[in-house]
Amino acid sequence: MTDTATPAAGGQGAAPDGGTSAALATPAPAPAAPATAPAGPAIPWLPSADDTTVGYLQNKGWTEPAQVLDGYRNLEKLLGADKAGNAVILPKSDATPEELGKFYDRLGRPADAAGYKVDVPEGIGSKEFAQAAASKFHELGLTQKQGEQLAAWWNEQATGAVSAQQATAQEKFSADDMALKQDWGAAYTQNLNQAQAAVRGLGVTPEQIDALSQSMGHKATMEFFQKIGSRMGEDSFVTGDKTERFGSALTPGQAKAEIGLLRADKNFVARLMNKDAEATAKWNQLHQYAYPSEN
């Protein structure tokens, strides 16, 4: 039987005096106090500087007064010597109307809406519109120059748009008038007089005629009044050196329809073939109405 070896006191595997419980109960030694950092070096040419100023100068790497002066000069070049005291701080996203107003005033906004000169072209805007625009400019914080330039731009755009509309309307009127003359042919003067008679009889004003023409178009308006005038009973109208009764002239379409009927009339065809004067005159007149461009 082998004897069990007893570890030597304090050797490997030996428990401390008093056992584990005693070791756990013994307070740990206090850590050594850190060494006090040495104070930053004083600046000989700025002996009254506090620690913050000293640190700022050290961060900048400035070791002499000339460097500080150079830094100030560079800042002045960036901002401009004439801007001293004129710095503007951008308002925050949640700035109040009062804060925004002060910001706009610093940028050069007029004291009130009357500070903007807003001209409105005649026939495009009104005095009331100009006043409303100036009030909006002031609300948005525009400077006087910005507001007036914006007004000038709007006037240019509006004037151009109106000119384009007028040109388009004139082109449409000319096309309608040409189509009307083609449709009415030799009856153009007669039908025009009938339309004018309707206007006189109904007491229609020029403004009402223009409004109707803008809605219906020139051609449709003239045809509308001509139909009314053809039923109003004025007996005759003067054209050149002769007087004709209303309804005696025919449009190309009416004349062509009449020619078609006469071709089917055997009695009329026989008279025409025999050179009957009345039948020949009627036939020739119908062809003048039906094909005015060939006569």
Q: pTM for this structure?
A: 0.45
Give the tokens for residue 46: 């700025």
Dihedral of the alpha carbons of 12, 14, 16, 17, in degrees to the nearest 10: -130
Of 249, 187, 259, nearest to 223 (Cα)?
187
| HSE-CB of 15 using CA atoms within 13 angstroms | 8
Tokens matching residue 244: 């004709």
**What is the spatial distance between Cα 177 and Cα 184, in angstroms, rounded to a whole number?**
10
Give the DSSP H or E segment for 47: none
Please check whether residue 254 is in contact with residue 289, taking contact to mean a CB–CB distance below 8 angstroms.
Answer: yes
Is residue 79 within 8 Å of 108, Cβ to Cβ? no
Residues 222, 192 contacting (CB under 8 angstroms): yes
Tens place of pLDDT per residue across the chain (295 aa): 444 444 444 444 455 555 555 555 566 666 665 555 455 567 888 888 898 999 998 998 999 999 988 888 887 777 665 555 666 778 888 889 888 888 888 888 999 999 999 988 877 878 899 999 999 999 999 999 999 999 999 999 999 998 998 899 899 999 999 999 999 998 898 899 899 989 988 889 989 999 999 999 999 999 999 999 888 755 444 434 444 444 567 778 888 888 888 888 888 888 888 888 888 888 888 888 888 776 5
